[in-house]
Amino acid sequence: MRRILASVVGVMAASVAYAAPVKGSDEATQIRWTRYGVPHIKAADERGLGYGIGYAYAKDNLCLLADEVITARGERARFFGREGQSSAELDNVSSDFFFRWLNGDAALAAFWDAQSEPVRGLLSGYAKGFNRYLRETPFVEQPVACRGQAWLRPISERDLVGLTRRLLVEGGIGRFAQAMLAAAPPGRQDARVSTADPGFALATRNWNDFALQRGSNALAIGAERSSNGHGMLLANPHFPWSGALRFYQLHLTIPGRMDVMGAALPGLPVVNIGFNRSLAWTHTVDTSSHFTLHRLQLDPTDPTRYRVEGQPETLRKRTLSIEVREADGRLGTLEHDIYLSRFGPLVKWPGLLDWSADQAFALHDANLDNTRVLQQWLEMDQADSLATFRAAVERVQGIPWVNTLAVDDQGTALYMNASVVPEIAPPALASCVDPAFAEKGLPVLDGSRSECEWSHETGAAQPGIVPANRLPVLQRRDFVQNSNDSAWLSNPAEPLVGYSPLQSREGGELGMRARFTLQRLAAHEAAPLDEAFLKGLVDGNQVHLAELLETDLSQLCSAHKGDMHSACDAIMQWSRRADGSPGWLYFQAFAERFLEIEKAWRVPFDPQDPLRTPRGIALEKTDVAAQVRAALEIAKREVDASPALKWAQEGALQVAVRGNRRLAIPGGEGELGVYNAIQSRPNLQGQREVIGGSSYIQLVTFDSSGPKAQGLLTFSQSTNPASPHFLDQTEAFSRQRWHRLPFTDAEILADPQYRSLRLNE
């Protein structure tokens, strides 16, 4: 009990230390809820608005936020013990060490000190609103997942800053957390962080799948292609269905200053993807580098010393300390050393980034110094025109690792790859980047030469990053699109070329989702585009790879049916949609193997014809034909022996599990060209449980009276099984039924599930 009381006192002390100077308003904060539990929050100032956000969010996701705060504070092992992992799939001990480093006192204080008064007001209000809901909610009404738990505690502005910094490094050092903890001089590896551990392998083997796991589709239609001459926007972010990146719907209003609706990530008091009266916007994970690796030239007599321009420097060792609750309930202490260079922490991946007697690797993350991220989204939320919106993005430069696509009511579409990217002078790129690592997607620079360090350019919002006027931007009246490809072909009519490879690369093969989008746009070039067209991209669930292989796969099946008749019949009768049917199951298993066959395409990729290549199966090549047939045979045997076939036959292959409910979910792997990208994992019963993918879907059009929006939050608003909004939107997504989003006062008041609450601090 003393330990729990001490923890609460510590949180209160941190809250006092970070007290916001923004004076709260005497006017009440109003929360009005509409269908599906969406809160429409109105207040006189930012502090009051944050107060409403924190209260509403706690009502729906009390345990989720409390758990993520424990993660960001580096206290998982203290409360949950060694076993278990965070929502980022880091084991508790590793997670705690990483966040003790990331969210040290100095880093949190520096971030807070850099905030504007409106942002401080939002953060302060959010913490107070969350704490009020926690304080006033009786024990029996708290969610079972955290009811009465020691880790369910009041939060502070400091905690929200920690959550924000966690978000910032998702595109950089956050992907290297285990590698950072594994870095130690030769012969001094800490046994507690083993590179042989399965968790380490999981965390490192697919580091470059970041855009697939947290990807997105976006399409902004301008006046020239729109059916009514106004702008239209489809937002289809593919994000986790749980944890720190789980979106939440809300509507924020400060009369006369801001009126914005959309979705926000946990702990953030701003709308990240949304719309207001004049424009709508969304984000997609970009392909830019938000970090660089620096290969250190070590002193052969001392692996903790390295040289820059021939001059020796010593690595700084920092000892981290965490508390761990052992199996018998007692608290113990663990320590771990990390090593820091002038560039940043050292990292180690065996066989790729080794720390040997003569070299080591350090990581420099540009977003560690990005204190502008909340101010960025606040100004985007407040923008009253596309020009204001674009100017805010270019001036603040606070977007961490995503593209931005937007459209206004006048029908102008905008694409911006305006995130935080390291600036390396062009001559240095030619001589400093290691091409062997570049082929693996890793930007490794020569750390022994000062000319290879980041350049400090005039006009950049942060030392060492690319100024906004040299980042890819495209503004058009027909369309812009992105599905996690580079900026190159955001619109093929006006390719974006000539940029640093750290920003964007031209001439590379497009992803299947981008090809699908551009093919559909080309097929409808003569007809105006409307809501039905945009919605159909998602809920059509077409598998574009199947369309590219259909003719040749049919030929293969006809010529060599034999024992493959069941698989061939299922595939040939299949709708070419990610529909959970047996044909889809067989095709998935085949496609996984087909994509690994070298030179399997009849027409290989051609950078001069990127929209139509690669395509077809090279069946005229004997070795390819044999490998493709073998891939189909293996796929058949695998599926026939799997319990998944039974679930596919019953229409329940891919499901969202909600308590004792299992809801069939459409969609599939984005790399196969499924726009409605869904990530799922096999369970013990043979079904596939959804873990991420389409999340906050937003389709916004405009007419003379303002925005008209529809969409849904695929996983629903609340993580509390007792809430009526635990699975209501998931059921709607299962049936592919989108709903209108009430935005005006008249629409809100007319909602059949309208209810309201007024809050005074």
3-class SS of residue 409 = coil
Query: Which positions ≥6 away from 156 have C-beta within 8 Å?
Result: 11, 12, 14, 15, 18, 127
Query: What one-character DSSP code corresponds to residue 408?
Result: E
Cβ atoms of 406 and 286 within 8 Å: the answer is: no
Query: Which positions ≥6 away from 203 have C-beta within 8 Å?
Result: 89, 90, 177, 178, 179
Mark whether 704 is an active-site residue. Answer: no
CA pair distance 125, 22, nearest whole angstrom: 10
Count of other CB atoms within 10 angstroms of residue 561:
14
Catalytic position from the list 15, 25, 95, 216 = 216
Query: Which positions ≥6 away from 547 have C-beta within 8 Å?
Result: 576, 673
Element (H, E) at 640: helix 622-640
Count of other CB atoms within 10 angstroms of residue 243:
19
Cβ atoms of 373 and 398 within 8 Å: the answer is: yes
Peptide bond into 614 cis (omega under 30): yes
At what angle are helices 531-539 and 512-523 packed, to 10 degrees? 150
Output the CA–CA distances (angstroms, integers) from residue 61 to 146, 273, 355, 723, in the order listed. 11, 19, 42, 10
Cβ atoms of 261 and 251 within 8 Å: the answer is: yes
SS3 content of the chain, % helix, strand, coil (to 5): 35, 25, 40
Closest CA to 230 of 273, 184, 277: 277
Amino acid 744 reads T
Tokens (6 digits) for 38: 């969406």
Residue carrying the six token digits 């693996």: 440
* DSSP per position, 41-73: EE-SSHHHHHHHHHHHHHHHHHHHHHHHHHHHH
Q: CA-based angle 159:214:87, to the nearest 5?
A: 45
Output the CA–CA distances (angstroms, integers) from residue 425 to 118, 433, 533, 692, in the order listed. 36, 11, 44, 38
Helices and strands (H, E) in the chain, number of each type: 23, 30
CA pair distance 336, 322, nearest whole angstrom: 9
* DSSP per position, 336-348: EEEEE-SSSBEE-
Q: How many residues does the chain have?
A: 761
Active site residues: 216
